């Protein structure tokens, strides 16, 4: 029980430190970071209340059941976190009230009728609620990833693919939490808190500098707005000079712009994003993201590495239009099938 109190105290301190750091010492934080800071503050309070069970005579079934009822509300924080990643600006007071309504009903229900049947019903509700969030979040995440790969050449700070392992970790954590809540013992409580700290460490690590992008539905599904957009698209199909696209890339080296977007390219080609995206997908079988990064590797990085093997990879990446070394490495492997180090070694061996 002493060790359990220590772990709970450590978890409380963990969430408190991050909440203070974000909400107090980050005055220029983004909306997403503010939401993350509030979630950390809420979790700090949730963890602190569990210190009650470490007091003499408090580790009883009624107390544990009440803690389960209160802890269930934490599912709302997961919902907000996931949806703010894939649908920035999703959280509103109206949505919060709607989300809280079933939790409030179960809490009031248990207060009026404190029997285990209510706890079991609540656990079933939480299980289905969690899976609903996972399914909806997974679907929206895939839409979000498709959108940014079709619209942006640099996705380092807007990439949400890190949510995939988080979803898996969350499901495992949910299973552990339900088991521990229904069959509580001190050892299982300790395991639960270690899992919670590990889960939020992973989420904080990947989301710390994350900058979510709004994804309008027409852009996700390759649609234009209204009949005028359709007419414009039809006309553009006849006029779009793809020789102009190649000219921009070959002569003006557009792919070297680290922040190049599909919208910017469409404006310079005097066409719309949808047709360029469709052309790349259907004729070249690649997204805008892959198209630009392939050019960066093939037309900039590889020649630079062949001519100047002494250059560091960070310099090669920057000169090739990449905003980060990690994106450069991923694109390099995808194009060549080798890491930059392996490619450089093969070049050196060929010279010898």
Whether the predicted pLDDT of 227 surpasses 70: no
CB count in 10 Å sphere of residue 331: 22
Residue recorded with tokens 């909806």? 136
Whether the predicted pLDDT of 260 surpasses 80: yes
Selection from 263, 260, 282 nearest residue 219 by Cα: 263
- Count of positions (residues) in the chain: 352
- Percent of the chain whose predicted confidence (pLDDT) is above 90: 45
Distance CA 27, CA 159 (A): 24
List pLDDT tens digits, range 27-44.
889 999 999 999 999 999
Q: What is the pLDDT of residue 180?
A: 66
Q: Is 253 left (phi over 0), alpha (psi -120 to 50) or beta?
A: left
Q: In terms of pLDDT, which residue wins out, 184 or 283?
A: 283
CB count in 10 Å sphere of residue 33: 18
Q: What is the mean pLDDT of the chain?
A: 85
Cβ-Cβ contacts under 8 Å for 177 (sequence gap 6 or more): 71, 192
Q: What is the pLDDT of residue 3?
A: 83
List pLDDT tens digits, range 75-104.
899 899 999 999 999 999 999 999 999 999
Q: What is the arithmetic mean of pLDDT over 164-179?
A: 72
* Domain 217-351, CATH: 1.10.10.60
DSSP class of residue 59 equals -
Distance CA 171, CA 133 (A): 10
Burial level of 23, CB count in 10 A (0-12/13-18/19+)? Answer: middle
Q: In terms of pLDDT, which residue wins out, 67 or 105?
A: 105
Q: What is the arithmetic mean of pLDDT over 170-198?
A: 74
Q: What is the pLDDT of residue 239?
A: 47
Q: What is the pLDDT of residue 233?
A: 45
State pTM to two decimals.
0.81
270 — pLDDT class (breaks 50, 70, 90)? confident
183 — pLDDT class (breaks 50, 70, 90)? low
Distance CA 198, CA 328 (A): 29
Which parts of the chain are beta strand (E)? none
Cβ-Cβ contacts under 8 Å for 207 (sequence gap 6 or more): 32, 36, 81, 85, 162
């Amino acid at each position: 029980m002493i060790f359990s109190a220590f772990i709970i105290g450590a978890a409380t301190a963990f969430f408190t430190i991050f909440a203070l750091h974000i909400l107090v010492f980050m005055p220029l934080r983004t909306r997403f970071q503010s939401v993350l800071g509030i979630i950390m503050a809420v979790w700090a309070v949730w963890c602190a209340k569990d210190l009650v069970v470490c007091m003499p005579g408090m580790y009883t079934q009624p107390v544990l059941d009440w803690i389960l009822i209160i802890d269930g509300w934490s599912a709302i924080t997961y919902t907000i976190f996931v949806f703010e990643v894939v649908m920035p600006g999703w959280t509103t007071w109206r949505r919060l009230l709607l989300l809280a309504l079933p939790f409030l009903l179960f809490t009031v229900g248990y207060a009026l009728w404190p029997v285990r049947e209510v706890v079991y019903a609540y656990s079933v509700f939480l299980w289905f609620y969690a899976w609903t969030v996972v399914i909806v979040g997974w679907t929206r995440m895939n839409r979000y990833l498709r959108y940014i790969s079709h619209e942006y050449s640099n996705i380092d700070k807007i990439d949400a693919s890190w949510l995939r392992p988080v979803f898996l970790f969350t499901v495992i954590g949910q299973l552990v939490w339900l088991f521990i809540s229904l069959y509580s013992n001190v050892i299982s409580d300790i395991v639960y808190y270690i899992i919670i700290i590990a889960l939020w460490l992973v989420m904080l690590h990947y989301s710390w500098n994350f900058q979510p992008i709004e994804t309008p539905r027409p852009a996700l599904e390759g649609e234009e707005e209204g009949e005028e957009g359709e007419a414009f698209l039809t006309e553009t199909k006849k006029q779009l000079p793809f020789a102009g696209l190649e000219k921009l890339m070959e002569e003006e080296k557009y792919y070297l712009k680290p922040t190049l977007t599909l919208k910017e390219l469409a404006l310079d080609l005097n066409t719309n994003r949808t047709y360029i995206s469709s052309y790349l997908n259907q004729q070249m079988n690649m997204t805008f993201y892959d198209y630009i990064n392939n050019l960066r590797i093939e037309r900039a990085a590889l020649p630079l590495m062949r001519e100047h093997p002494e250059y560091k990879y960070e310099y090669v990446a920057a000169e090739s239009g990449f905003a980060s070394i990690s994106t450069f490495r991923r694109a390099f492997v995808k194009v060549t099938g080798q890491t930059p180090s392996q490619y450089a070694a093969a070049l050196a061996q060929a010279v010898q």
